[in-house]
Amino acid sequence: MAKSSKRSRSRNRRPVSKEARPFPHGSGYWAKKCRGKLIYLGRITDDPTGEAAWREWLRIGEDARNGISPSKPTGGITLGELVNDFLNAKRQLVESGERSERTLTELIRACKTLVKVLGKTRTAADIGPDDFAKVRRAITKRNGSVRTANEISRIKSVFKWAHENGKIDHLPRYGDFRKPSAKTTRLERAAKGERLFTRDEVLDLLKLANVNQRAFLLLGLNAGMGQADIATLPKHAIKGEWLDYVRGKTGVQRRAWLWPETREAVAAAMQASGPAENPEDDGLAFRTSHGGRWIVMYKGTPDDRLSEQFRSLLKRAKLAGRGLSFYRLRHLHRTLTDECLDWPAANVIMGHQDPTMGGVYRERVSDERIRRVCEHVRNWLFGVAGSGAGLQAPVVDVQGQDPLAVALQRCRAAIERAEGPTRRTLESVWLPEIENARQHPRGSAAERILDIWGEKPEAAKPRLRLVAE
């Protein structure tokens, strides 16, 4: 009679054993073998029963199995405890509205890298230059210079917070745990090349876009809005022709003139939004067809549906694979608005803080200046015929235009064409005059602009122009 296969299987099955406790080594120490190496856990004479050795193994075992060198027990706070305390403190700031969910997500990612490399049982006070060198290698292995710089700043903020809150007695020695140099960042950016949409590409995207995508595209280019700006934009920020609200990321008042095309697209997208799933989302300008937010935080990770739709749009337009993203519209907006040489107005539109003394003294930027900058971007997109316009300033028919506007345009064009010392001289002479003329169109600066750069008969030659027309 054949033997039962069931019996043979049960006979061959090995019982699941619990982890073996440390054993007494011939050297007089308790020991444990892990990853082919012996780890010693204290003298046998000091711990005859091996209980202390077992507790020490439970403390360091996870790190040892992962190939991480455990620190000696010093009674200080461990890295895992420090990171948890730090993130709990930052989470409270998010709940009070002082920090964004996105900021917390980035801090969580940086802390995960730190713990993964050094181990959660590592005593925070023991961490030194060699340890930070390992962390830096792990960061640079998968990130570019900009992300590396950001991650290093976030990790340093953990220890700065710990020192300020009495978790550690002194800041660690970081060694070479520094941000990549500005030269490294410039070379990396140069190697990638210019990553901007051309005029024709933006027009193609608008043709293929659905009702939501069209509104988001136009807001990105018209007002320099990013994904998070659009996803959290409140209804009350849209006031007729103007976008006017305080940007949550910077706390700076933001104001932009909305193109007719943008106003029409925004109204259609708002109408297409579904009823709010949560009552607190009812005040948002844009929601998905199901009534949800366009960007949702899920377990510390953003679920960015807006970017997903935009990537799908890029594929349909055959623009994928060039490093382009929705945020590049914001880059394009700023690149174009800088051609107007009105940086205060450009900062107001984008919601950027002006760190200069001029920003301290400046109480307001006129709507005329803001509208002129927004119109410049609109002219680039809709007012230039032909393909391959790139980032060239639009050719505008001067007939019927305000003489001062024509003179200002000629002055700016001359500055843009100039190089080296000539350009610096032009900028020092004419940029203050341009700013003054914008604020006071009937003042003396405007008269000088008209006199030097205004329309003249062919025989008349400009004075003090410093560069040829």
Q: Give the domain CATH number at 93.
A: 1.10.150
Same domain membership, residue 273 and residue 338: yes
Please check whether residue 394 lies inside any domain of the structure.
Answer: no
Please check whether residue 70 lies inside any domain of the structure.
Answer: no
Same domain membership, residue 249 and residue 141: no
Please check whether residue 46 lies inside any domain of the structure.
Answer: no
Residue 294 burial class via C-beta count within 10 angstroms: exposed 0-12, middle 13-18, buried 19 and up: buried
Please check whether residue 132 lies inside any domain of the structure.
Answer: yes
Tell me the one-letter amino acid at 256: A
Both structure tokens of 83: 């990171």
Same domain membership, residue 287 and residue 184: no
Contact 434, 341 (CB under 8 A): yes
Q: How far apart are CA 379 and CA 393, in angstroms?
A: 9
Same domain membership, residue 212 and residue 179: no
Same domain membership, residue 185 and residue 212: no
User: What residue numbers bound the domain in which 248 lies?
Assistant: 199-382
Q: How far apart are CA 133 and CA 264, in angstroms?
A: 54
Same domain membership, residue 205 and residue 151: no
Contact 381, 221 (CB under 8 A): yes
Same domain membership, residue 325 and residue 288: yes
Residue whose C-alpha is closest to residue 101's, from 297, 241, 271, 248 = 297
Q: Cα 30 to chain center, whole Å?
A: 51
Kindly give the confidence (pLDDT) of every residue in the chain, 469 residues in length, as a single tens digit, with 9 standing for 90 and above.
455 554 444 445 544 446 788 899 888 888 888 888 888 887 888 788 888 888 888 888 888 888 776 665 555 788 999 999 999 999 999 888 788 778 888 999 999 999 999 988 888 888 999 999 999 999 999 888 889 999 999 999 999 999 999 888 889 999 999 999 888 888 887 777 678 899 999 999 999 999 999 999 999 999 999 998 999 999 999 999 999 998 876 678 899 999 999 999 999 999 999 898 888 889 999 999 889 899 887 766 678 899 999 999 999 999 887 888 999 999 999 999 988 888 889 999 998 887 777 777 888 888 999 999 999 999 999 874 333 333 333 333 444 467 888 888 888 888 888 777 677 777 777 888 888 888 888 888 888 888 888 765 443 344 444 443 3
Please check whether residue 315 lies inside any domain of the structure.
Answer: yes
Residue whose C-alpha is closest to residue 214's, from 228, 224, 204, 226 = 204
Please check whether residue 390 lies inside any domain of the structure.
Answer: no
Hey, is 192 helix, strand or coil? helix
Tell me the one-letter amino acid at 115: V
Same domain membership, residue 219 and residue 159: no
Same domain membership, residue 329 and residue 255: yes
Same domain membership, residue 364 and residue 235: yes
Same domain membership, residue 323 and residue 226: yes
- The residue assigned the tokens 């018209």 is 222
CATH of the domain at 304: 1.10.443.10
Contact 330, 224 (CB under 8 A): yes
Both structure tokens of 181: 């140099």
Both structure tokens of 448: 């000088």
Please check whether residue 354 lies inside any domain of the structure.
Answer: yes
Same domain membership, residue 210 and residue 163: no
- Backbone phi, then psi, for 31, in 5-degree steps? -140, 160
Please check whether residue 2 lies inside any domain of the structure.
Answer: no
pTM over 0.85: no
Q: How far apart are CA 327 and CA 335, in angstroms?
A: 13
End-of-domain residue from the set 336, 352, 382: 382
End-of-domain residue from the set 337, 358, 382: 382
Residue whose C-alpha is closest to residue 90's, from 79, 105, 109 = 105
- The residue assigned the tokens 């940029």 is 431
Alpha-carbon distance values, 229 to 109, 150, 245, 284 (Å):
22, 21, 11, 11
Number of separate domains in the chain: 2
End-of-domain residue from the set 382, 413, 429: 382
